[in-house]
Amino acid sequence: MVLRKISRLSWTDIVAFNVAAFGALAAFVFFLSQQSPAASMAPAKESAKESAPGASRKRIAISFDDAPRGAGAFLDIQKRPEMLIKALKKGGITQAVFFVNPGRVTPAAAEQGELVNYAAHGHLLANHTATHKPLSQVSAAIFLADIDAAEKWLKPLPGYRPWFRFPRLDEGRRDKAKRDAVRAGLKARGLRNGYVTADGWDWYMEAQTVQAKKAGRKMNMTALRKLYIETHVASANFSDRLAQRLLKRRPVQMLLLHETDLAALYVDDLAAALRADGWEIVPADAVYADPMAQMTPDPEFADGTLLEMLAWERGLSGGRWFPRNNIESAKKLFASRVLGE
Ligand SMILES: [Zn+2]
């Protein structure tokens, strides 16, 4: 987790730069964040348009990275996967996808059983490398070997899909030769990029809960639930607007979450909030059947969601990054609302 945070910093600097450049938008979103969750969603005018017959609909699938993930602040890690399965069922999420790091599965058979159990409940399993090394920190050969190690473990499992998600969404950043070597390597292996289009930095919210717990701080759980839900609905709507600016249509979106305590506690409520906001939750299989899945952007800095990379490649003006995805904003929101500072 510490490593994850540190390696995110250079990316964060870039995000922070953009947030500064589009400060007005950030301020507007922060203002919205102070309102009720309903107020932070799409404007009323847009909702009316969406309910019109024949209007394109907002569709999104749910993914969880880093399974099996380490302990969080609240739950018994042995019970968490079962809780998450129940929450997915309660939320009507019939087919989520788990991007697995088999190198983190301990010899205890229970953990492998837990992952297989996700598949037994209709969810999918796919590759996130064996050991979660980000591409910009290793060679293409080491990275592809890490993918192969995960693939060997995953392929025989039920619910397997030949999809690969880059750890930390790092696709090689400025090193285009390495990026292209890995793209070619994935193609040769019959693997597709299991990209993300919406991201609300749940991993950072989780890190803050762990830190608060260690410090013996009291957390307002009602406020935490609201913050988690509201942030992810807002990130989905941000991506919806970004996609329409880029593609002039509504592709099927893929939301990035992690296999955290927060997911097990709140994903059913998040699903309900997304639906209340006009989203249809679709099976993970629907995402990579979208024509957008054929796009391979060529940005200066290959990192982030597919929509962010397309926006960068095309030099799209206006906000290209979800304004809450930076340390300063995320910290401030958590401190004021969950810690009551
Ligand atoms: Zn990851």
Largest Cα span, the chain: 54
Whole-prediction pTM: 0.84
At residue 134, φ and ψ (nearest 5 deg) are -75, 145
Angular region, 201: left φ>0, alpha ψ -120 to 50, beta rest: left
What is the Å distance from ligand 1's center to 125 Cα? Answer: 14
What is the Å distance from ligand 1's center to 66 Cα? Answer: 5
What is the Å distance from ligand 1's center to 322 Cα? Answer: 19
What is the Å distance from ligand 1's center to 65 Cα? Answer: 5
Of 126-130, 163-167, 315-319, where does mean pLDDT reach its minimum? 315-319
For 230-305, list the strands marked E by DSSP.
253-258, 279-281, 302-303
Q: Where are the domains of the chain?
A: 2-51+58-337
Give the pLDDT confidence score for residue 97 in this predicted structure: 98
What is the Å distance from ligand 1's center to 218 Cα? Answer: 28
Radius of gyration of the chain (CA): 19
Calpha distance 252→264 (Å, rounded): 24
Is it the case that residue 23 has pLDDT exceeding 60? no
pLDDT tens-digit map of 63-79? 999 999 999 999 999 89
Is it the case that residue 115 has pLDDT exceeding 50? yes
Which is higher by pLDDT, 42 or 153? 153
What is the Å distance from ligand 1's center to 204 Cα? Answer: 12
Give SS3 for 189. coil
Contact 330, 8 (CB under 8 A): no
Fold of 2-51+58-337: TIM Barrel (3.20.20)
What is the Å distance from ligand 1's center to 300 Cα? Answer: 22
- In this structure, which amino acid lies at residue 4? R
- DSSP β-bridge partners for residue 279: 58
| Residue 313 exposed, middle or buried by CB count within 10 Å (0-12, 13-18, 19+) | middle
Give the pLDDT confidence score for residue 113 in this predicted structure: 84
Give the pLDDT confidence score for residue 114 in this predicted structure: 85
What is the Å distance from ligand 1's center to 51 Cα? Answer: 36
What is the Å distance from ligand 1's center to 166 Cα? Answer: 7
Indicate the pLDDT class of residue 24, thresholds 50, 70 and 90.
Answer: very low
Contact 125, 154 (CB under 8 A): yes
What is the Å distance from ligand 1's center to 259 Cα? Answer: 10
State the DSSP string of 89-131. Answer: HHTT----EEEE-GGG--S-HHHHHHHHHHHHTT-EEEES-SS
What is the Å distance from ligand 1's center to 102 Cα? Answer: 12
Instruction: Please report, rounded to a whole number, the percentage of residues in the chain having pLDDT higher than 70.
Output: 82
What is the Å distance from ligand 1's center to 165 Cα? Answer: 8
Instruction: Please report, rounded to a whole number, the percentage of residues in the chain having pLDDT higher than 90.
Output: 79
Using CA atoms, how far residue 335 sits from 36, 82, 133, 340, in Å, is 18, 30, 31, 6
Calpha distance 241→326 (Å, rounded): 19
Of 29-38, 68-77, 132-141, 232-241, where does mean pLDDT reach its minimum? 29-38
What is the Å distance from ligand 1's center to 256 Cα? Answer: 10
Indicate the pLDDT class of residue 281, thresholds 50, 70 and 90.
Answer: very high
Residues with CB under 5 A from ligand 1 (ion): 65-66, 167
**CA contacts within 13 A on the Cβ side of 201:** 25
Is it the case that residue 11 has pLDDT exceeding 50? no
At residue 217, φ and ψ (nearest 5 deg) are -80, 145
Give the pLDDT confidence score for residue 105 in this predicted structure: 86
What is the Å distance from ligand 1's center to 122 Cα? Answer: 22
What is the Å distance from ligand 1's center to 35 Cα? Answer: 31
